[in-house]
Amino acid sequence: MKRKHFLALTLASFVTACTSSNPNPKAPSKVTLTISVAASLQDVMKAVKNIYQLENPNLEIIYNFGSSGSLQQQIEQGAPTDVFISAAPKQMNVLEKRGLLLTQTRQNLLTNNLVLITPKDSTTSVTFETLSTADLEKIALGDPDSVPAGQYGKQVFNSLKAYDKLTPKLVYGKSVRQVLFYVETGNVDAGIVYATDATISSKVKVTDTAPEDSHSPIIYPIAVIKESKKTEESQKFIDFLLSEKGQSVFADYGFTKPEN
């Protein structure tokens, strides 16, 4: 009798221990998505994260912000990435050509405008047309080799036949946000950024908007990376960004939806 009582107590203790260590064995494990995102999307993507994680508590989003060119290189070198958002088609085209994107997941997510900015307290009145003749010492531009905003800016200068004349004055930034910082701190007289970058800063003012026909369309493409182990969750995230709710968040930050 005592032996049976001992065995019953032992079994009860074992069950209790198992239950305590795993109180909810059916609870789904948390999924982490790593998203590589163009630097110009920092603020809006943080807002997106707050909304999306609230609706999907079992998912965690980790952002890797940087210039589209550097993010492209990281993906090519095998950096763990589930979704890539580029500030220009060029970087996405390279990854697609090399077979690094999951087939049929690429879509156009957003559009933007390119603007000329000066420090808020600047008395200089300058436009893209007068930039080459204005009395300016330094003009910030994203590095055209890796920063899409710099590539678009160079196209604008070339369309005005002013790039060669402006080159000695150019100070290259590693990202569009670095260009914004240069202007905010007064380290340069003017800079070329996206309209959405200028909107978030109280330390700069927009003096001109580049004509749409002076540069390639500013398109932000998005796609799932082929090596991702969480393709279903990645596609679900992309679907949210493209949804009416997701696009309304982007609209709040000045981005627009592509026509196609």
Known binding positions for molybdate? 40, 68, 149, 176, 194
Give CA–CA dist 250/44, Å, rounded.
Answer: 6
Here the tokens at position 51 are 């909304």
Here the tokens at position 260 are 């196609």
> Contact, 85 vs 177, CB < 8 A?
no
Here the tokens at position 60 are 């965690």
* Residues tagged in the binding site annotation: 40, 68, 149, 176, 194
Closest CA to 204 of 121, 120, 109: 120
User: Helix crossing, 148-159 with 89-97: angle to 10°?
Assistant: 120
Amino acid symbol at 197: D
> Contact, 78 vs 200, CB < 8 A?
no
> Contact, 77 vs 227, CB < 8 A?
no
